[in-house]
Amino acid sequence: MILAIVQARMGSTRLPGKVLKDIVGKPMLWHLVNRLKHATLVDKIIIATTTLKEDDQLEDFARGATLPYYRGDAEDVLARYYDAATQFKAEVIVRICSDNPLIDPQITDRIIGEHFVSDADYTSNTIKRTYPDGLEVEVFPFEVLEKAHKAAKRGYEREHVTPYIYQRQDLFRLKSIEASGKLRRPDLRLTVDMEEDLKLIREIFRRLYRDGQIFHTEKVIDLLDRHPELAAINAHVKQKALGE
C-alpha cells in the first residue's frame, strides 16, 4: 500500500491553527487533501496529528471528512510517522506537510513513479530545491522509515522525520527529482507559515479554484507572472522567510 501521511497540528508559532484556516469557504487542510486525492498512485491518505487537546479539532476534521487518522507524540514526529505507518500497514510512505495547500497531484505522482523506477531508498524534490516552496513530496519504503526510527537519536532527526535518511548517503540510495521548464521556479513561495503567506494563498484560490476541479502549478505560476501585485506579495514573503 502506498500511504500518504499528512502531518498536521494546530500549534504554530507564527500562525496558530493555520491548518484549519478558511480558504474560499473550506479549511486549508481540506484543500490539501482534496488535491492529494487526485494523485493516482496514492492508495490511502491519513492525517497524523498529536495527542494534545488542541488537536482534537483535527480528529474532528478527519472524522467529518471520513479520513483515517492517527494521533501520536507531539514532539517525536518520526515516531508518530512510524506508528501511523505500522498501524495502516504501509509499504511505501509519501510524506506531505499540512502547510502546503497547493500540493500538486501530478508532481506527487511523478515523484512516486520515479521512486519505483529508480529503486531508490528515498526519492524527493527537496534534495535540490528547484520547484516552488510548498510542493514538497518525499517517498520512501516502510523498511527505510523503520531503520530511521530505530537509529535516529538527535532532536531534529526526530522532529523532522527524514533528516536521518537524506543526510546519510552512505546508508541510503537517494534520488533527487528536479523541476523543468515552467515548473522550475524556486523563487516562488506557495506554502503557509505566516499571515502574509495565507493572504497570497487565499488570493490564488479565489482566482483559480472551482468546485469539482483541480488547477495545477502551471496555472498558479501563470497567475503570479501576469499579476505584479501578487508577485510582489510573493517576493515580500519569500524575502521575509529567508531573513528569519
Residues of the chain with pLDDT > 70, as a percent, come to 99
Whether pLDDT at 98 is above 80 = yes
pLDDT, tens digit, 9 for 90 and up, residues 122-170: 999 999 999 999 999 999 999 999 999 999 999 899 998 999 999 999 9
Q: Read off the pLDDT band of 186 (50, 70, 90).
A: very high
pLDDT single digits (tens) 4-14: 999 999 988 78
Query: Any idea which residue has 487533501 for its cell?
Result: 33
Q: 70: which residues sit within 8 A by CB, 6+ positions away?
A: 46, 47, 48, 49, 80, 83, 84, 87, 88
pLDDT at 200 > cutoff 90? yes
pLDDT of residue 19: 96
Classify residue 96 by burial, with Cβ atoms within 10 Å: 0-12, 13-18, 19+: buried
Check pLDDT > 70 for residue 244.
no
What is the CATH topology of the domain spanning 2-182?
Answer: Spore Coat Polysaccharide Biosynthesis Protein SpsA; Chain A (3.90.550)
- Helix (H) / strand (E) element for 140: namely strand 138-141
pLDDT at 14: 81
Beta bridge partners of 140: 93
CA distance 126 to 96: 12
